[in-house]
Amino acid sequence: PSHLTRLVYRDMKVLGGHIINVSSLAGIAGASRLTSYCASKFAIRGFGQALQMELDLEKNSRVKITCVCPSITKTGLFNGASTKWPRIIPLLEPEFVAEQIVIATREEREEVVLPKVCNMLFLVDEWMPRRVWRRCKELAGVHTMNTYKRIRPE
């Protein structure tokens, strides 16, 4: 996202626009077997937050930034992945995620967490001791990648 943003950022600051960054719940709460993936998704969130701070400093309200953090989406990237509590945190349909991105863009929302019940991650992540937080994530089923099947060799 940083390279693409760099290409259009100067024009957007003058003409206006909306930057949509797609992160993940893994960009809020790290998960086992996804170290590199989590790091990249945390980076996307941080990039958008820093860019928003720059816009605020410049008092530029013409550029909007939205970060979307969906749970596992049925795109084939994580074939065979499942969730421990599918009624609470289901695998998301790509069409649903796309619809939520359109809605968030119209509403100029800065951050979108899908499903919405996962918004509690923000509060818990900031206030709970790390050891307790890791145990809570285990109970919630953060090790969902144990069912993940690689679709191509490394």
Residue 146 reports pLDDT greater than 70? no
pTM: 0.81
So what's the pLDDT on residue 78?
76
Across the chain, how many H-helices and E-strands are there? 5, 3
Could you list the active site residues? 37
Which residues share a beta bridge with 22? Answer: 68
Render pLDDT for 67-112 as a digit per residue (tens, 0 to 9).
Answer: 999 998 998 887 778 787 888 888 999 999 999 999 999 999 999 9
Q: What is the rounded CA–CA span in Å between residue 141 and residue 54?
A: 37
So what's the pLDDT on residue 87?
85
| Three-class DSSP category at 120 | helix
